[in-house]
Structure 1
């Protein structure tokens, strides 16, 4: 009987104490880290934009157009006929290559092969997703793409590095 009383008193004394919640070991990241990251990204984008501007200034043969999406393009072959351009959901057939800003080939069109692309329904280089919708069958356009419209801070995990701007020449073969 004494044991039951001792257990009962112990339970009342120790079982009803207020439990203090555990506090997190790490504090939440401050907004200053986010602000610093944004500032650094803006600096990197300015450096990329300067490199692209210098490349375009050196090319006196082509007339480059700045798209609202932030990439540059020039027509190598332009079709003046009133033919349709691709729209969302169309299946297009195209050839393209990728090179760096020095003009060195990263992936040739022979390696990449002919690509069938369902417009805006598949993952693809974001600048080319937009740029393909400017094209008519038979046209060839060269796109100069900053990294933030290409493979970004991760690269492609193979030949395209982090924050690397690229050039891509695309020929639209067919629209279905």
Structure 2
């Protein structure tokens, strides 16, 4: 009888014990992520160096550096002092564009991509072009030089634009429809 009582007491004590954490058999470090970050930094630096070489070789255009990490120049600048508005969140813009490699070899030639309507920051569009459109005024044509991370990045467009490809994109902003003009009034 004593043995049964001791056994029951032992089981009761064991049952009240809190569970212990199980630790993984192997622990991974952040080395893969660290290597990936270092590789991406190196790739971006090489692309930006290539873009700087193109800019230095092109004395016919005045390149501007955007705060968002790409470069551009005006093919056609709107000098109308009455037309100073740029698109803002929700405005619908109508534009044409063509895409070339950073060296200027056509990928999608002018007219190959149909005229596009885009609601600023409400639809999908690659990062650089989304940011570039916000710099433009109606009637302007700009040429942008985008590093790959501002263009289609690692995935490309799964058609003609490959992986990690910096781009030369020429954009003409045809029309800006302000958001409050687009709303239906009752």
The normalised TM-score by structure 2 is: 0.79
Aligned to 1:72: 71
CA distance in 1, matches of 2:77, 2:154: 33
TM superposition shift of 1:23: 6.8
Q: How far apart are the structure 2 equivalents of 1:108 and 1:49?
A: 24
CA drift at 1:29: 3.7
1:129 aligns with 2:130: yes
- Counterparts of 1:23-172 in structure 2, within 5 Å, are 27=26, 29-82=28-81, 83=83, 84-172=85-173
Deviation of 1:46 (Å): 0.8
In 1: Cα distance, 2:154 partner to 2:27 partner: 24
When the two structures are aligned, how many residues end up with a matched partner?
Answer: 160
CA distance in 2, matches of 1:106, 1:135: 23
Question: How far is 1:109 from its partner?
Answer: 2.9
**The residue matched to 2:143 in structure 1 has which SS?**
strand
User: How far apart in 2 are the matches of 1:43 and 1:66?
Assistant: 20
The aligned counterpart of 1:13 is none
Unaligned runs of 5+ in 1: 1-15
Structure 2 contact 103–168 (Cα < 8 Å) conserved:
no
Larger deviation, residues 159-168 vs 104-113: 104-113
SS in 2 for 1:43: helix
Q: Which runs of 5+ in 2 are unaligned?
A: 1-14, 178-186
Partner SS, residue 172 of structure 2:
strand
8 A contact 2:148–2:164 mirrored in 1: yes
CA change 1:66–1:34 in 2 (3 A) is same
CA-CA distance at 1:72 after TM superposition = 0.3
Q: 1:78-134: per-residue Cα shift (whole Å, max 9, x none)?
A: 012232111110011000000002211101231211000111111112111111111
RMSD: 1.9
